[in-house]
Amino acid sequence: MRLIAVSLLCALAAASPAQSSSVATQSSSPSAQDINAIPAFDNHAHPMLSPPDDATDRNFDALPVDSMAPQTDPAAYRPDNPQLADAWRALFHVDLSTPLDATGRAKLATARAAVKAREGAHYSAWVLDQANIATMVANRVVMGNGVQPPRFLWVPYDDALLFPLDNTTAADTPDRVQFFPLEDKLRARYLADVHLAALPATLDGYLNRLVYPTLRSQHAGGAIAIKFELAYLRSLNISDPSPADTPADAARAADIYARYVHGGVPTPADYKLLQDFLFRTIALEAGRLGMAVHLHDLAGAGRYFSITGVNPLNLEPLFNDPRFAHTNFVLLHGGWPFVHEAGALLQKPNVYLDISQQAIMIPARTLATWLREWLELYPDKVLFGTDGYPYSDTIGWEEATWLGSRNARKALAIALNGMQQDGEISPARAAELAHMVLHRNAETLYKLPGR
């Protein structure tokens, strides 16, 4: 992979992937080339299955964004983004200029098809190889052909467990009108997995016969975390009963569930109370099982996405609750535009963040400004990520992964260079921080064996 060279005063001797995880000596510092040579742990992406199953794969997201009301796309996602030509050249060895005309689209499709035919079931792993990603966290409904451990680690979706009642009042935007039937479909899948024909009549039954068995099954299936796209469905403002969920709070949630599980529409206030109770219950169980909790935390896709509702400060009462001391939370996408608020929350011992999607959407020099701020304050809490995703026919998950990796590494080089030039860190510390962001922080967070 090629990046614009960014000097960091001194360069590490070129290292092989097998050597790249060793701590640098005091007399060396990572250059952009060295950073490119470090195999990365991608904390968040949506890889597609290998051929031929990729043609019909829709399990890369519980809530695909391709049917949402149009938004004003960031420049990086527009068809005239000149960086796309770099990705096409690197991945498929085809020289094209943006935006593609009909002939260019046909050439790209032919070149991509040739690589897929050559790689077959290895295609998804091949994509990782091109971006020098050793391991990718696959945020998918289910895993499948070509997307399997050890190269891909699973993170499933659990929003469907938060919304067991009639969602008429919750479906308050055109996008949410489309989303809740998808959540109903996923919850029906979870019901079938535990051999239930219908939702249990009581909240206790719902937890013990569906929620807990689903979480245990996900953990047994290799899940290292669970994912919530909650910000697409409602605000991240999760209420925090003080000092804890009292018997009265639990009784009220149970009453709301029992009253409406077989019919009727709950009031928004009642339904939110139940959702918040279920979220806290699921997060506690995830922590008990050793799974982290991933949260979408960035201004999301679609005209109707609530940017106000995704402010990560909404989550501070949850993070402050001592009951969640053993549940680790990861703010996916680094909270943009609330990047300083997200960074401040790294003060909480159980909070981490990654730069996925920002690595595609935000130019490297801009991203480097708050990446440097985070590294100056909480360097052991920052994770590499791409958010490789099939955004369109010209920005597939392959291009997104490649561009995200290139941009993230360039931003990291810029940030470390600035810190070293200002005398904040030594060359050895710069090398260490590069490895921490690119893989070590994630390996520590997920307690990955043999890493």
With b for 16 or more beta-carbon neighbours within 10 A and e for fewer, the 165-191 pattern comes to bbbeebbebebbebbbebbeebbeebb
Indicate whether 85 pLDDT > 90: yes
Q: How confident is the model at residue 67 (pLDDT cuts 50, 70, 90)?
A: confident
pLDDT tens for 206-236 read: 999 999 999 999 999 999 999 999 999 999 9
pLDDT tens for 131-166 read: 999 999 999 999 999 999 999 999 999 999 999 999
Q: How far is CA 160 from CA 65, 270, 372, 397, in A?
A: 17, 18, 36, 25
For residues 71-76, average pLDDT: 94
Domain ranges of the chain: 32-77+119-445
Beta strands in 192-287 (DSSP E): 225-228
Identify the pLDDT of residue 450: 52
For residue 368, what are the contacts with CB-CB under 8 A and spacing of at least 6? 410, 411, 412, 414, 415, 418
For residues 40-63, average pLDDT: 97
Indicate whether 438 pLDDT > 60: yes
Identify the pLDDT of residue 405: 98
Identify the pLDDT of residue 29: 60
3-class SS of residue 158: coil
For residues 263-291, average pLDDT: 96
Beta strands in 128-175 (DSSP E): 133-139, 152-155
Q: How far is CA 214 from the centre of its chain?
A: 21
Per-residue DSSP letter, 439: I
Identify the pLDDT of residue 423: 95
Give the global pTM: 0.91
Identify the pLDDT of residue 7: 37
Q: How far apart are CA 48 and CA 415, in angstroms?
A: 31
Q: How far apart are CA 20 and CA 132, in angstroms?
A: 12
CATH class of the domain defined by 32-77+119-445: alpha beta
Identify the pLDDT of residue 16: 35
149 and 222 in contact (C-beta within 8 Å)?
Answer: yes
Q: How confident is the model at residue 15 (pLDDT cuts 50, 70, 90)?
A: very low
How would you classify the pairing of strands 40-45 and 382-383?
A: unpaired
Indicate whether 6 pLDDT > 60: no
376 and 430 in contact (C-beta within 8 Å)?
Answer: no
160 and 192 in contact (C-beta within 8 Å)?
Answer: no
- The secondary element (H helix, E strand) that includes residue 45 is strand 40-45
Indicate whether 243 pLDDT > 50: no
pLDDT tens for 302-355 read: 999 999 999 999 999 999 999 999 999 999 999 999 999 999 999 999 999 999
Q: How confident is the model at residue 65 (pLDDT cuts 50, 70, 90)?
A: confident
